[in-house]
A and B are shown apart, each in its own frame.
Chain A
Amino acid sequence: MSSAAIPLSSGKRKHPTWIYYLFPSVAVMLVFFVYPILLTFFYSFTNLALTGESAKELKFVGLDNYIRMFADPSVKISIWNTLVFLFGSAVVGQQVLGFIIAILMKHKNKTFRRAIGTVVLAGWVTPEIVCALCLYSFFADEGTLNALLAFFGIHTVAWLYTVPMLTIILANIWHGTAFSMLVFQAALDDVPQEIEEAALVDGASKWKILTTIILPYIKGTITTNMMLVTLQTLGVFGLIYAMTGGGPGTATTTLPIFMYNQAFVNYQLGYGTAISLLLLLMGVVLSLFYIRSLKE
């Protein structure tokens, strides 16, 4: 209840002066964070560009960027790629794999748990660009995976060209699963032991205990984690950019990569911000969707 404390010394003043302590941080956030977000709305209705005619004069173009966006087939491809990447690496990959690791680790030998946990965590702690390099080398034509396949006499595959989306999904799983694993380990520890034991005595199978006791009990954690992981995955840029550059062709061009290409390669900043807004909107819609399902 410490938050309710009213200081003795400042009783005579209406507002204690330390309310001003908030100002520096709020100012920094307003100028460098909130203002750019507001600018996103503004610029997305302009012809802002770095080169050419429109670079000289900023003009309102109304909904032009949005009309262009919906007519642009590569936008559809990017949205689709983003959804595939989200579903594969965040929902199925990190969530499910993280949960499986956490539940398999329950009641296991402590040293063994720690060893596996450390390896999974290493991927999480490793900076994005190092992850990209490690996984790029793993999937490259002369990389570790093909060397292993060749060793066992199996045909090698040009992974980064034939299944590029799969490689970035696996890379993101490698990088991010530890977070879900940690979250689920903590959640599983909170499930009351007695209920599980009682069910076991009553002859319930392990599968039954998992689906009727454990999963309902940690439902809130699953939803919150899903939301965090989804939002985090939505913004992934460096990993994909460094591994495949969005290619080959447009095979791994997710919205952040597409936005980057439009804004910084083609110098169409106005169009780029319209795409940013689409990205923000996707984040908001997905979050609302998760929050809704949490309430039900």
Chain B
Amino acid sequence: MTANQRKIIYRILPYAMLMFIGICFLLPLLWVLVASVDPNAMQSLKLPGSVTINNYAEVIASRPNQRAFLIGLIMSLGQAALVVLLGLLAAYPLSRYQLKYKKPFMLTILFMTSLPITAVMVPVYQLFLSIKLYDNIAGVILFHVASSMPYGIWMLKNFMDSVPSDMEEAAWVDGASVFTGIRKIVAPLMVPGICTVAIFTFSGSWGNFFVPYILLNTPEKFPAALKLYQFFGQYGMVDYGKLAAFSVLYAIPSVVLYMLSQQFMSKGFGLQGGTKG
């Protein structure tokens, strides 16, 4: 092998490897996209004989599906709104005031962000049974809020640290209350941070399967994630086209919100970035 040939191989090899990885990642995804418009969809990827939007139309027209999507939306929106609201309130004293136990508090919060939620579900279930919150959509929202609160507070506090306090103090001198200061000065400057937290919380809840699966019992209260599982959990004869269409519709909010969040996180994804201060 001449030096020149080797050089060419070195140039092409990374592209070839990336191509291969890309195809491996693409194939399972391609199936769900193609099957969703195939009137005779099968379990394996194949070129559809004709293209239809019937699968989507039927999924959208179904009442139970509409309800599942609506419930999912209410849960995720409710959670995101509560996390941002309560998180902002908590972040304020943590960011602006020298508290005695701030450091251990923040470390506890950080530790809680990484606990596997799976491990606390059994006692949560028992707790919900005893306080009559089992099979209650508001209960699911409350637990979701509690479990994503540590992350919300941690992120919002860091975002708030980067908002200078001078302007706020100037407003106080002019007679504004602390709350007005947050609402009129701090919050507007934190819009990117608030959006990031809201989007992450929303997506986390929208895509979560385990928590509602444990805490809900009545099929009429199931959000989209559970509905989808019910749909393909019963194996056997499955209408793959409709199943795929439901999956695509269910995945769309996550995809769109991820793309939106990219705008707010211009600085990429460094682990250091979010944890400074």
Q: Are the CB atoms of B44 and A25 closer together than 8 Å?
A: no
- A224-B44 CB under 8 A given contacts A22-B94, A138-B28: no
Closest to A105 in B: B18
Question: How many whole Å from A260's CB to the nearest CB in chain B?
Answer: 8
Contact yes or no, B146 A33, CB < 8 A: yes
Rounded to whole angstroms, the CA-CA distance of A228 and B123 in the bound complex is 24
Point out the residues of chain B lying under 8 angstroms from A138, CB to CB: 27-28, 31
Given A24-B89, A28-B149, verify A123-B97 contact (CB < 8 Å). no
Q: How far is the CA of A112 from the CA of B232 in the complex (A)?
A: 35
Is B96 part of the contact surface with A, judged by Cβ < 8 Å? Answer: yes
From B127, which residue of chain A is reached at the shortest CB distance? Answer: A36
The CA-CA distance from A285 to B191 in the complex, in Å, is 38
- A4 lies within 8 A of chain B by Cβ: yes
Cross-chain contact of A269 among B120, B122, B173, B209 (Cβ < 8 A): B122
Q: Is the CB of A4 within 8 A of B98?
A: yes
> Is the beta-carbon distance between A242 and B146 smaller than 8 angstroms?
no
Residue interface mask A196-223, B partner, CB < 8 A = 1: 0000000000000000000000000100
Judge whether B57 is part of the interface by a CB distance below 8 angstroms: no
Q: Is the interface of A mostly helix, strand, loop or mixed?
A: helix
A174 within 8 A of B: yes
The 8 Å CB contact of B114, one of A26, A140, A225, A287, is A287
B26, B89, B122, B225: the one contacting A21 at CB < 8 Å is: B89
Given the interface pairs A104-B17, A130-B250, the reply to whether A3 lies near B98 with Cβ below 8 Å is: yes
Which of chain B's residues have a CB closer than 8 A to the CB of A264?
A: 125, 214
9-residue interface stretch from B1-9, B58-66, B263-271? B263-271
Chain A's closest residue to B227 (CB) is A129
Q: Of B149, B172, B173, which one neighbours A33 at CB under 8 angstroms?
A: B149
Residue in B93, B99, B121, B207 whose Cβ sees the most chain A Cβ within 10 Å: B121
Q: Is the CB of A146 within 8 A of B145?
A: no
Least Cβ distance of A273 to chain B in Å? 5
Q: Of B96, B232, B240, which one neighbours A5 at CB under 8 angstroms? A: B96
A77 CB within 8 Å of chain B: no
Assess the A133–B247 pair: CB atoms within 8 A.
Answer: yes
A28 touches B207 (CB 8 A): no
A283 touches B115 (CB 8 A): yes
- A168 within 8 Å of B by Cβ? no
Contacting pair A122 B25 (CB below 8 A): yes
Interface residues of B in 210-239 (CB under 8 A from A): 210, 213-214, 225, 228-229, 232-233
A36 and B121 alpha carbons, distance in the complex (Å):
8
A29, B146: Cβ atoms under 8 Å? yes
Decide if B150 is an interface residue (CB 8 Å cutoff): yes
Known: A2-B165, A3-B277, A174-B28. 6 other contacts (CB 8 A): A8-B173, A119-B26, A125-B254, A127-B209, A256-B116, A283-B119
27 A-B pairs whose Cβ atoms sit less than 8 Å apart in the complex: A3-B96, A8-B172, A21-B93, A25-B86, A25-B153, A28-B145, A29-B146, A33-B120, A33-B143, A116-B22, A125-B254, A126-B251, A127-B207, A129-B228, A130-B32, A138-B27, A143-B44, A147-B44, A182-B268, A183-B269, A235-B117, A237-B210, A238-B229, A276-B118, A276-B120, A276-B121, A279-B119
